[in-house]
Amino acid sequence: MHQGPLPEVKLINVNHRDSWQGAVSHHFRSTFKMHSFKNLLLSILTFGVYPYKKYKQAKHAIAQSLAARKLSFFKALRERIEECRAEKNHSDPRQSLNAIFLQVQSSKVDESEDALEFKAIFYPSELLLFITNPIRDQKSIRLHRLKSRGKRLDYLKIWHELKKKARINQYRQIQNINFCNKTLKEEHCLTPAGTHDRLSRTSVSRKNGALLTKFRELGKAFQEIVLAYQDFEDLKEDNSDLYHLIDTLAKTSQKDIETLQTYLASRYLPRDLPLENRRQLIQLGNQQEVLFHMSEEEQFGLCALVLNKYQWDFLLSIQEVSKVTLGLLDWAFEECPETIAKELSFIEKLEGGAHEKVTGDPEAFPSFNEKIEEDPSLSFMTVNFAKELNREWPSFHLYEEATLLYEAPKTESFSMEKLLEVYKQMEKIASADRPIFSFLQEAFSLVGKQAFQAAIEEGVMKLLGEKSEYFLPIFSNSDITAAKKGDNEIEIRYSFEQVITKRGEVEHPFEKEKYMIVTQPLIRTDGKWTSPEASMKIVIKKRPA
């Protein structure tokens, strides 16, 4: 046995099986050839037992040499870890641990040309062990000697003793646990009860009953939680939906969890359910689809470590939160008229497009300009109204007082013939008042419809905190009605239905019985048209008798 590493292990990468297996084979062959005649004879006489024994001795010799190599570079490893530790200023121990680990394993042991990286000399578990539990008193490590080799050292036993020293370094573990505990409480709202709950559900606490002390159990379990949080951070890149779901759930308090759990169990939406709880439900519901694609072996174990028992139970219960989402969207649709903020007036929103006529851009609208040459009265057509050609159009009604002047059914494609027909009817209502004629065209175009559609969606989002992703609320404009109340007043009414479709699935949309009517008056005062604030109300569809 050599006092130092064998030459065969100089460039071995311990994390590559073929690398150290090749060193074992090479050492076995070289020692076997030293006394080849005797070894071959003994191999024949023992029916292959003797060479197997020699192979095991070669394997043990390589293991001793690898351990000697690890010990020779341990000082360099310890110094490199401390250098990296001094550079880190993360408040989250998971980030520091991960950063130090990545930095250390890719560092070389020295500056020489053929120097190896630490990750080729030490296993990842060994690097992690010394990063989390650095040895302060290496001199206290006892030197073990081989019983059958006199004064020669047993490097393998010394190396195991070194790792054991790191594992039972209780003082350092106390510092780590206190630091991690404080940070996790601040970053992830861990209460003492939550910490105990998570410790009680770690694999160490559940399966390893042979631990010597309660403190060691606590230290190992807490380290497992820290590593689980590190893996949880990695989900940002690997599974962003799952990360968002657990992150949202981890920030939900126990009181809120109990409130939401009660609601999910009852399927009843209480009128006094706080707005924050409604937002939490929709946020969690948005990510529920990820639950159906989670691998129980790979993901549920991680979730169980990161979440406390209240959050864990709730995670399992929200797999049917789609029904809740439907109820919340219905509630938000009903409540949003009270939450829509008044911004620009309706006239101000339409004013920009009212001055843009198709005659100003003949290349973009050749067909309309040909029609204008035939009929000059079409020259007042706005660009936005012309863009309604071939669009889906809602049903349309024009009134003068209580008299119906014109109506058109809903159409999937607004034809040129129908568009010119509507244009002519609007012109009659405007009675040669060119400004209001332009405003009416803009009001019936996509610009006018979306002015209120966007406001409704903003109202829903204001109530729910974010737009639902799992069920997409689409506020479809189903009818437009314009009524001339007199020479100085016109009233426009938009009807919006809430159509909800499930993301990623082709199915018949879920249509609510409720719909919203937005009433927008246009009033002329002192020769100028103005738009007072629109009124909104929720109406229930009449069922056929």
DSSP bridge partners of 451 = none
Q: Is 34 a residue whose pLDDT tops 70?
A: no
Residues ≥6 apart with Cβ < 8 Å to 230? 94, 97, 98
The owner of tokens 């559900």 is 201
Averaged pLDDT for residues 256-282? 80
The three-point CA angle 536-538-541 to 5° equals: 135
Contacts 24+ apart (CB under 8 A), 187-193: 187/91, 187/92, 188/229, 188/250, 189/250, 189/251, 189/253, 193/308
pLDDT (0 to 100) of residue 490: 93
pLDDT one-digit tens code per residue, 303-335: 878 888 888 888 887 766 677 777 788 888 888
CA distance 377 to 422: 13
Computed over its alpha carbons, how large is the radius of gyration of the chain?
A: 38
What pLDDT is attached to residue 481?
A: 94
**Model confidence over 185-213: pLDDT tens digits?**
666 666 777 777 777 777 666 555 444 45
pLDDT digits (tens, 9 = 90+) for 385-421: 999 988 888 999 999 988 999 999 988 888 899 999 9
Adjacent-strand bridge partners of 539: 515
Instruction: Give the least confident one: 120-134, 140-154, 272-286, 531-545.
Output: 140-154
- Mean of per-residue pLDDT scores for the chain: 78
Closest by alpha carbon to 519, among 475, 481, 485, 484?
481
Element (H, E) at 370: helix 366-374
* pLDDT at residue 2, rounded to an integer: 41
Instruction: Report which residue type is found at 157.
Output: K
Helical (H) or strand (E) element with 304 = helix 301-306
Q: What is the average pLDDT across 63-82?
A: 84
Q: Which two tokens stand for residue 415?
A: 């034809």
For β-strands 471-486 and 510-525, DSSP reports them as unpaired
Name 106's Cβ contacts closer than 8 Å, sequence gap at least 6.
117, 118, 119
Contacts of 215 (CB under 8 A, 6+ apart): 170, 173
pLDDT at 438 over 50: yes
Band (508; pLDDT cuts 50, 70, 90): low
Q: Has this prediction a pTM greater than 0.85?
A: no
